[in-house]
Amino acid sequence: MLFLRKIFRSAIIVMLVFFVLSITIVVIYRYVPVPGTPLMLIRHISDGAPVHYTWTPLENISPHLPLAVVSSEDNLFTKHNGFDFDAIRLAIEENKEGKRKRGASTISQQTAKNVFLWNGRSWVRKGLEAYYTVLIELVWGKERIMEVYLNCIEMGNGIYGAAAVAEHHFNKHPSKLTRSECALIAATLPNPLKYSSKKPSQYMRKRQAAILRLMDLIVKVDYNEKE
């Protein structure tokens, strides 16, 4: 019995330390640029891939890029609280029926995973992803989430964020990216190691055109918009 009490006490201490550290880091990243992500380190160690990453404030990124990624990845970004439950339900139903797996992660969830976690499909990782998603929604807000997302998301082999993809694929500053270029970048996000915005395939051009049409419907991203 004494042994079990010690284990229980130790588990409580570990959980408290985790909560304090995680909340502290999230609060710090609300104001400080993210220095790097676990994926950058994992890719560099496992593949020897270079890390091209330069933090750029949201106001120095083309306004077409947030609109493009919302159109492509998460139409309800400004309206949900981190989770798109209708998309999750539909993904579960289609997976049960053996259909092609549908992505249901919001931009908030992707940001939480990219900044704090590792790739994988375990329940532990998904649980931590949900936890961090709630935290960043509460502490950061939509505009900061978008800023971190656009800076940390993988956009090619060794290329992370708007500044790196603008420089290495379009030879320009991220503020100068055109509407069409932003749609092409967004088209790669489901698999940026397979699809390239530098050398787009015919399939990529079709995705780009579809995203441009969605951008016409959304028009702009209002970070304070709520239903």
| pLDDT values of the chain reduced to their tens digit, one per residue, 227 residues | 666 777 778 778 888 988 999 999 999 999 999 999 999 999 888 888 789 999 999 999 999 999 999 999 999 999 998 887 776 676 565 555 555 554 568 999 999 999 999 877 788 889 999 999 999 999 999 999 999 999 999 999 999 999 999 999 999 999 999 999 999 999 999 899 999 999 999 999 999 999 999 999 888 888 887 64
Cβ-contact 168, 159 below 8 angstroms: yes
| Alpha-carbon dihedral 183, 161, 80, 38, rounded to 10 degrees | 140
Q: Are 191 and 156 in contact (CB under 8 A)?
A: no
Phi-psi region of 60 (alpha: psi -120 to 50; beta: other; left: phi over 0): alpha
Strand (E) or helix (H) holding 150: helix 142-152
Q: In sequence order, what E strands does the chain have? A: 52-53, 154-156, 159-160
For residues 186 and 69, what is the distance between their CA atoms, to the nearest angstrom?
Answer: 5
Number of H helices, E strands in the chain: 10, 3
CA-to-CA separations, 66 to 57, 154, 220, in angstroms, rounded:
13, 15, 8
SS3 content of the chain, % helix, strand, coil (to 5): 60, 5, 35
**Contact criterion met (CB below 8 Å) for 189 and 208:** no
- What fold is seen in the domain 36-218? Penicillin binding protein transpeptidase fold (1.10.3810)
- Residue 4 phi/psi, 5-degree rounding, is -65, -40
Give the chain's radius of gyration (CA, Å): 19
Task: Return the pLDDT at 155.
Answer: 94
What count of other Cβ atoms lies within 10 Å of the Cβ of residue 73? 19
At 11 the pLDDT is: 79
Residue ranges of domains in the chain:
36-218
Q: Would you state the pLDDT for residue 102?
A: 45
Give dist(CA 70, CA 68) in Å, integer. Answer: 5
What SS3 state is found at 52?
strand
Q: Please tell me the number of Cα atoms within 13 Å of 126 on its side-chain side.
A: 7
Return left, alpha or beta for 45; rule: phi > 0 is left, psi -120 to 50 is alpha, else beta.
Answer: alpha
Question: Token pair of 125, please?
Answer: 């990782």
